[in-house]
Structure 1
Amino acid sequence: MNIVLSPALTLVVGLAGALSVALFFWGAHLVTRKSDMTGEFIIEPPKKKADETFILHRITELIGRPFGPVVVEWLGEERQAKIQLRIESAGRPEGLTVQRYAQRKAGEVLLYGGIGLFFLVDGSPIFAAVILAFGLLTDLSLYSATRQRQEEIQKQLPDFLDVLAVTVGSGLAFRQALSRVSDSMPGVLAAEFRLTLHQMELGTSRREAFSAMRRRNSNESLGRFVTALQQAEELGAPLTQTLQSIGQDMRREDAQYLRRRAQRLNPRVTGITAATMLPGLLLLIGGGMFFGSDIDLSAILG
């Protein structure tokens, strides 16, 4: 006797079988794994962070890998230094280096240039222009990361300086206080100061290390802080009072910065509101006028 199952019943039976297999393997995993509660605390080594590189960057980097050394040599030392500064200003997103940057740019030229040329020959210049615009994807991602990083520094700087002033006022030396505050406060700004301290530990003078930090960051408030710190060091001014005054100035500048951002957002909000509400408002008014005027369209529509 042959039993014919309907498609819906076949699907249900298949899903039930798949669920049974999944539950079996999950149960086997629970039985064979070690207990989470042991008699002692075990510190596991940190797990390697998964590759979070954007998929298009992976593709272009893979395509341009054979041409990376040639591109790096063609760039020259001066151009490499500028690219390295841009990468450091962006916070080394995705672990980017000059070598990987050269590979991505070579891959972007080959991939997007080839596809754009195909659409151009095929008679589609608009699609060709859109595809060619993807050749700037790496530079746009660096610009976006740099801008976001500087905004975070602007937000974190006043609180960081207040805590640093209190720590220096408690009697610690400036370098020790800076190290303690950088280790205790998370964020982009603390990472920048940790990098500066690491450079000083390697033999770089404090003036050169802070000047390098100012070159890496285009934030005006951070630049003024470095300038005031260097002037206080040269003139012998009390560091605690200098940090407190700088922190107060930064808070005023931060408030002004937020007001400027709000003023820049007002036209955008107005434009979006007009673009979304105006068509519906015109349709509502026009429809009301049309139905209220008793216009006879029989002569036009037949």
Structure 2
Amino acid sequence: MPDFSPTRRALLASGGALLAAPSIAPAWAQDFPARPIRLVIPFPAGGPTDVYARFYSERMSRELGQPVVTENRGGAGGAIGSLEVARARPDGHTLLFGTASTHALYNLVTRQPQYDAQRDFQAVAMLGGGPLCWLAHPAQPATLTDFLAAARSAAPPLAYGSPGTGTLMHLATEIVKREGGGVPLNHIPYRGAAPAMNDLVAGTLALAVNTLGAGLPLHQGGRARMLAVASAARAPQAPDVPTAAEALGRPGFTAVLWHAVFAPPGLPAPVLARLSQASNAALADAAFRTSLAAAGIEAASPGTPESAATAIAAEVDRYRPIVEAIRPELDA
């Protein structure tokens, strides 16, 4: 899992806005929240982001004393919903439930981005998320080491499926290929994770990558075999499955589809502080963390807006080299 703790480098995402923001009277900040809060989820309903956002909105409603209402605004890989929040009035009543895709990878993989993920948003809180896992068809070797060894000599090359080109699942698997010595696996991009899982179970694919929460039912039901999970420690739900760091012999290797909350830039300091305080109270709550863990989600430790922005900037730096290495595939 990425290091979501404060570090020496604090990168604040409170710079220039996409549109000039209206001023906010100080009294508004003191009375915040004055009405229900709209939490925009920039992806369709039903995915791992949607699951976490609904847990979070329920807990934040209790903390803030106002309803936190989720709204799915999917499209353009998360850009439509993200842009809507970036252009909203910065009074704390419109927030974005962003992800690694919208705020670490978007500006790396998109040739003509519609927003700057660091400049056009104020980071509020890092929330953690779902570690990735690699699942093989039961006919394939039983360990990641053996699978990669078999893939090196397979003819034709074995194929792996991801939810799409440029997704975290795609990039993390490309890193695994390189960490495994340059394994010649063919990437098959799908329009979402579910079609890839269907083809994996049917035997069309040798390997697929998904979040832990989505992969567990297939693993536990014997329809696929989980070879590794990209968390810092073995998942309690599947203690027999090694971490990717263990399987690859690469200490510290993690890959997490993390989530974070963002506001439009120009958010008043008292409003930001109140949202941060409420998020930290949720993250510190044992019942909240237990509910997330049951869904395969690892909650981050409480932090600050500055530490959230720092962690996100570190993720951008981490994935930049692999994006540059596979740029021809991304531009095809």
Q: In which range does the TM-score fall when normalised by the shorter chain? A: under 0.3
TM-score of the pair, normalised by structure 1? 0.21
Greater helix fraction, Structure 1 or Structure 2: 1
Mark the structure with the bigger radius of gyration.
Answer: 1
TM-score of the pair, normalised by structure 2? 0.19
